[in-house]
Chain A
Amino acid sequence: MSDTILEAPATGDQPVVFDNPVDEVTAALKERFTEFVADDTRPGYGGLVVSADKIVEVAEALRDDLGFNYLSSVTGVDLIEEDKMEVVYHAYSIDKGGDAMVLKVQVDRDNPVVPSLTPTYPGADFQEREAWDLLGIRFEGHPDLRRILTWDGFHGHPLRKDWKEPFFEEEAKPFGSRWPAGEVFRAEEKNVYGKNVQYPEGWAPSGAEYEAETDSYAGITYSRESTPGLKTEKVTVNMGPQHPSTHGVFRMALTLDGETIVGLKPVMGYLHRNHEKIGERNTFIQNIPYTDRLDYISSMSNNLGYVLGVEKLMEAEVPERAEWIRILMAELTRISNHLWALGFLLNDMGALQTPMIYYYIERELILDLFEATAGSRMMCNYMRFGGVAYDLPDQVRDQPVMDFLHDLVYDRLPRVLHQGDELVTGNEIVRARGIGYGYLSAEDAIAFSAAGPLLRASGVPYDVRRANPYSYYEHLDFDVAVRYNGDIYDRYLIRIDEMQQSLRILEQVLPHLKATEGASIIGSKPQYALRMPNAGEAYGRVENPKGELGYYMTAKRRSANPERYHVRAPSFINLTALEKMCMGHKVADVVAILGSIDIVLGEVDR
């Protein structure tokens, strides 16, 4: 890093530096569970391998005694060569911050049974269901182990390395049929049923196997118990998947007593495309544009998380200007995402279109910058390993780019935040519908592994940018926004707070951009066929607008594509807390509560 940081006009407090508590905890665990834990000795790997029958005890000790109370991600891994299934847990300490404590459980591949951590960490619920669905790992003691992303009648577990789709071309890209003798064909015509489905061998559907009426409610509490004193019964109602308030194809099966919610099960997967399987077949660079499609509102940040993960694996250097551009893009993405989220939240609360349109006028400017820089408004595909793809453009809409940014940061965006404040913050309807609804306590937010604004609106000031800083965030002066009431209104306010903090960051970034003009934006020449120099695993995480976005990947030495590629999707995991937040409220509030979580189905369903 050059000395421009020292010359920065904006000076603040010293950056918060956390000790790394992971080593300490590893030692403590080894002492307590001497016979049951061992270091992961594979080259490039870290963490502790815990024997399966002790994982619940270890997790409880971790949560209660050692302060690692936040289970961030649960990843299933198919180790086909060792004939094992592995579950990888990443746990964090909310109080101390720092790196993840990585726990691994390895079980027999033919009969993979792992004790469920859902009773200990309720946030593991959906993630364990996902690992069951995609890898066939059974979690004993899980209260509701059903498929979650694929449909109930799906045959096989698609993330297993030996699972193949009906039209299977090759194990990894690039496919040999493309070059040098490219005979063009349409893949969909090669599918047996015209669709991408397959049935068990020797079995053809007769149409009577699937009872749509009952099966689609399997696992959903349903009772004919009446309310005392009234002749009523509980009803199960489907909200979605085709419902404008669900922000995409998302279904909630509500159990209602009158109009009051007594049970809610999110049903998802309508947009499922097995991003992770695609990712494991892609070469490393081919994955970048696919990450755009996860949370398609904030593609720049998705790119950033992914390249950070790969850079950890390949140990790439990033030049200074590239880091500043990355922060610029990530923070603008945060603003544009929150503008979008607030627009829709207000829409859900009844402020139809008007605030949304006003927010979009500014969001449009941010997208204009993305388009002029990266070539696309939403599917940016901008970050590269060791830098970014292009430098900032000369001009955005006939305006020199630095002037444009200056106008944006000092004039337009502060103004729209202020205007939004005037427009709706004090509005009686917004307050009446927001205050006290969708309450999530701090303890619950941590237990449910909620992330991002959802966590911070419940009074937990946890932000990856501070807790485990990446890029240059430790050199920047900003506050972690936090609100304490944990209701819809606070989740509305915290997004405004976060945008203000992002503006503060941007104000500090602009002088650096000016100072580094013309400097290099990429460490080394990008390679189209990158071979990973080191074997190992890496977990890249960023504070995405919606919460912590993590990429877990493993690679072999000299491999062109990741061996395992897992996305910790914040909107997916945030939905775990949805039932808790909606209990006891009315149907109309569900819409607003869902809006306040801010989900994107591209990321939920992956």
Chain B
Amino acid sequence: MYGLGVLKGMAVTMKHFVATYMDDIHWLSRGGRYYNDNALQVRQSTKGKGVVTVFYPEEKLPVPERFRFVPFLVTDELEAGQQWGHDWCTSCGICAKVCPPQCIWIERGKQPNGRPKPEPEKFFIDIDICMNCGLCAEFCPFDAIKMDHDYELASYDRTTAHIHDKERLSKPISYWRSIAPKRADAELAAREFTQLSKSKKKSRGRDAGDEPEQEERIEAAKLRQLQYQGVLY
């Protein structure tokens, strides 16, 4: 019969229509249909039924830990009266070298005697150019540059507002801990491990000369594995 296919299709649409309202009613007594974070997590997941709309910007979907947006610089915790904390960045320049669109500019710090200081004098990221690839954070050996979760960077004037300087980029480590707790923990563990093996090496070096530390190398390899497997993250 002509038109049967159309009718069948209509039935599917109707099913969705009904499912959506049933789901709305289901959530009515569990914290409301809208602006309900718990509901959002379920309705956006594989368990969701019907069609759901996220009312951005009143409602926002939580982003996963690995979400990446324009990078920021990690600093120590602020002490009272300080404007920003001590940089973790040593201005080694790896991020500037690996950056695919070359949006990172670093001026290396100098000591009064002219020798390089492991600290950036200036640090700029042009967020118009940044492609949010995350390679800088991936290759930073000091955990000093991390990808942010703050994706609302629109501004009225891109010519003046879109080159972020060091002040704008710097955020304390507690911020990173708050947006990516698991990953921050894993990184902390890795750093402590390296510290430990370094100090071990020192003390053993004093005791037994320059005996090759096979154990240590194995441990270091294990650590590397952990890092690159990403099992900790």
Contact = CB atoms under 8 A, between A and B. Distances in A.
Contact of A183 (B51, B105, B108): B105
B33 interface: no
Interface stretch (B23-31, B38-46, B75-83): B38-46
Contacts of B66: 371-375, 390, 393
B225 A520 contact: yes
Contacts of B65: 372, 393
B91 A180 contact: yes
Contacts of B64: 371-372, 375, 393, 396
B86 to A, nearest CB: 20
A180 B46 contact: no
A373 B224 CA distance: 20
B96 A426 contact: no
A174 B97 contact: yes
Interface residues of B, number: 62
A404 interface: yes
A181 B109 CA distance: 9
Interface in A171-209: 173-175, 177-184, 186
Interface stretch (A416-424, A461-469, A496-504): A416-424
Given A179-B93, A182-B105, A285 B2 contact: no
A297 to B, nearest CB: 17
B132 A398 contact: no
Contact of A357 (B51, B68, B102): B51
A398 B45 contact: yes
A422 B133 contact: no
A528 interface: yes
Contact of B229 (A290, A376, A520): A520
- Interface core residue of B106, B116, B230, B233 (most chain A CB under 10 Å): B230
Interface in A368-384: 368, 371-376, 379, 381
Interface in A417-436: 419, 422-431
Given A186-B159, A290-B100, A423-B13, A399 B46 contact: yes
Interface string B152-167: 0000000100010000
B98 A422 contact: no
Nearest to A387: B228
Given A358-B16, A393-B65, A426 B4 contact: yes
Interface in B195-233: 224-225, 228-231, 233
B41 A286 contact: no
Contacts of A427: 5-6, 8-9
- Interface core residue of B11, B64, B124 (most chain A CB under 10 Å): B64
Contacts of A371: 63-64, 66-67
Nearest to B116: A180
A282 interface: yes
B126 interface: yes
A364 B44 contact: yes
B5 A365 contact: no
Contact of B135 (A289, A372, A525): A289
Contacts of B6: 427-429
Contact of B96 (A174, A364, A521): A174
Contacts of A425: 5
Contacts of B94: 528
A361 B5 CA distance: 23
A428 B100 contact: no
A575 B154 CA distance: 37
Interface stretch (A19-27, A305-313, A407-415, A535-543): A407-415
Contacts of A375: 64, 66-68, 134, 147
Contact of A423 (B12, B48, B107, B116): B12
Given A180-B116, A184-B126, A376-B132, A520 B228 contact: yes
Given A411-B46, A428-B3, A376 B100 contact: no
Contacts of A529: 97-98
A382 B107 CA distance: 30
13 contacts: A177-B105, A178-B96, A180-B91, A182-B122, A288-B133, A364-B44, A391-B231, A397-B41, A397-B45, A423-B12, A427-B5, A427-B9, A518-B231
Q: Which 3 A-B pairs have the closest CB atoms?
A: A182-B105, A426-B5, A289-B133
Given A182-B107, A285-B98, 9 more contacts: A175-B102, A182-B122, A184-B105, A365-B46, A371-B64, A376-B68, A399-B45, A430-B5, A521-B228
